[in-house]
Amino acid sequence: MTDKGHPRGLAYIVGNEAAERFSYYGMKSILVVFMTTYLVTRSGEPNAMSPSDAAFWYHIFGVGNYIFPILGALLADVLWGKYRTIVALSLVYCAGHGVLALDSTRLGLGIGLSFIALGAGGIKPCVSAHLGDQYRGQAQGLISSGYSFFYFAINVGALLSTLFIPWVLAGYGPHAAFALPGVLMAVATLVFWMGRHTYSRVAPTPWKTYRQVFFGRDNRIKWRNLTLLYLLLSTFWALFDQIGSSWVLQAEQMERIVSLPILGSVEILSSQLQAINPLLILILTPLFALKVYPWCERRGRFGTPTRLWFGMVLAGVSFLIVGAAQIRINSGESVSLLWQVCAYVVLTIAEVLVSVTALQLAYTQAPRTSASLVTSLYLISVAFGNLWTALYNGGLAPILGGPETARYYLFFAALPIIASVAVRSAVKSLQGQVSSRSIES
């Protein structure tokens, strides 16, 4: 334990997460711009994608990135344990960055993103569940603040990378812009390995024992309730992950020259706007944890069901804002970036309410023998969200309109608002069963 009661391994896990998220969000922040501007053939000729095609493949990558957590979870829970799984898949992750840095063709893009999806996706449920494993005995009461540190690290990495990597791409090209995230991923792997002697580790569970988690009447009911909740939450992620696709494409059409104190007139790159999200997260997460939630709890309000419901509604509102901005753009007006800034504020409040709450709910509802698997099922809700968006761009966009139309944003705005009607009852059904960790292991 540390002097403040947190496990000694926390610093290594948090440090690893900050560097890994820098690598991931830095690479992801420039993907759409790379695909629509920098792709080339083997002979070096331009081979750029259309906006709809880029959005489709961006979200297909998102699907893979959030499907592979199932593989990582099974490796961690049944075969290798979380520590070995994280180290092994981190090396695959590093290889993916290397391919992107060396090859700017569509083949290189496909191979590089496949490796990154396998590595990044595979370690996702393992790292967050590994963090939870560190809190035992007296430290268990600090798990909520431990996850807050973890989420803070995610957004420090995301903020720095989404500000810096688009600038590297614009000034030095795609090879340098993809190489730097690869270096940070190597650093992340090293930091995690350095903490190997401080971690509390949960041994893999033999498959014969592990499979019992899925049987028994109470267990089946809990899995059903978790699955229903995650499907509903997928509508939130169908919107949220578009800050790297449709919102970037919309920002390209906006007035991006702004006047800043000291710096004067500065052009904001379209992909840099994504930095607003992690910046706001760093402000809002502690504000909600230290002020808003305690204030509400003292009055018996704003529990988990209400947080998720309200977050879903706010996500829809954020897309109504960008939809209104698109109407003005299509009318030939000069539209300020402030429209997206306002939308980012609303969407980030929604993220605080939905993402942090759902991540903690996923871990606390899981038995220790399958914590990685339950967390990976939560991440599949993100995969389904990206799938809905990819299918729209790949099939419905020619009929209903792509990211260049207001109908596109209004369509997606409706999804989480409609789904929010059922979210509260789904959470209450889940919480109405036996208390946390009631699935027998």
- Reported as a single tens digit per residue, the pLDDT across 16-62 is 999 999 999 999 999 999 999 999 999 999 999 998 899 999 999 99
Could you tell me the pTM of the whole model? 0.84
pLDDT of residue 98: 96
Residue 431 tokens read as 């919480």
Q: Of 39-53, 144-158, 164-178, 324-338, which gets the smallest average pLDDT?
A: 144-158
The sign one gets for the Cα dihedral 203, 204, 207, 210 is: positive
Residue 439 pLDDT: 38
Between the alpha carbon of residue 73 and those of residues 144, 275, 278, 371, the distances in Å are 22, 30, 27, 8
Helix axes 338-351, 217-240, angle to 10 degrees: 170
Q: Which has the closest alpha carbon to 441: 222, 231, 140, 226?
A: 222
Half-sphere exposure of 45 (CA within 13 A, CB side): 2
Query: Of 66-70, 114-118, 383-387, which gets the smallest average pLDDT?
Result: 66-70
Q: Please give the Cα distance from 9 to 195 (Å, whole number).
A: 6
Q: Select the CATH number that applies to the domain covering 10-431 from these four: 3.30.9.30, 1.10.357.140, 2.60.40.2130, 1.20.1250.20.
A: 1.20.1250.20
Q: Is 5 left (phi over 0), alpha (psi -120 to 50) or beta?
A: left
For the chain, count helices (H), then strands (E).
Answer: 19, 2
Name every residue whose Cβ is closer than 8 Å to that of residue 323 and which is 6 or more positions away in sequence: 406, 408, 409, 410, 413
Q: State the DSSP H helix or E strand holding residue 14, giving kind and residue range, or none if neither.
A: helix 10-29
Give the domain ranges of the chain: 10-431
Higher pLDDT: 213 or 423? It is: 423
The overall average pLDDT reported for the chain is 86
The Cα 118–Cα 335 span in angstroms is 39
Which of 67-104 are b and which e, b meaning 16 or more Cβ less than 10 Å from the residue's Cβ?
A: bbbbbbbbbbbbebbbbebbebbbebbbbbbbbbbebb
Give start and end residues of each alpha helix (H) in 195-267: 207-210, 217-240, 246-251
Quote the pLDDT of residue 2: 47
State the greatest distance between any 2 C-alpha atoms of the chain, in Å, as a whole number: 66
